[in-house]
Structure 1
């Protein structure tokens, strides 16, 4: 039975091969369908780039843009006699402390910031 089916398939293949014309394999080159059109703006830009000449730089070109450097004058030194008198007045100056005795000599009462609670008293229960 297997032999008959193989024979039948061979005969069918032979019949199909006779009916169709021979298949010829061809190589084809695929070209894009849109034709590349010339880009006028790009062509103009490239032409101008090729024709551009860089101007020569001269040393005198920076005359109006750059200022001449001049060393600033040295500052005047303070007089040493003034420093000595100012230092003496600073040393003799009285120091003002907030909370200290005023001009009349009365001292302000000193506040005790740390007060201890008595251990004998117990807080009332709420």
Structure 2
């Protein structure tokens, strides 16, 4: 478990073929920072969903940043898109789409959205 803040590690993605790299990057960094394998896998699922949404709904790809704070691992997913709509109910089982952001909110300890007029940063936090 990390007891001090670390400098962010960063990875860029721009193509669907980059998603496997992003998942490996997040999982490996999260474990190295002190998250358990299970919690690192949950963070990886959340980041993968956000990165996939970036590639489906924006142009230009995005950046993932990950670092440790005193009590958690933080991860930012930054892209040039508009703020996603969090705070929604889980779609019904017969709906073909729309579960990804609802899942992100349920598996992360913290989810924050920070639009800046140029794009959006979604900040995730996973407690140790």
Answer yes or no: same fold by TM over 0.5.
no
The structure having more radius of gyration, on CA atoms, is 1
Higher relative contact order (CA 8 A, sep 6+): 2
Q: Please state which band the TM-score falls in when normalised by the shorter chain.
A: under 0.3
Q: When you count strand as a share of all residues, which structure comes out higher?
A: 2
How does the TM-score come out when normalised to structure 2? Answer: 0.16
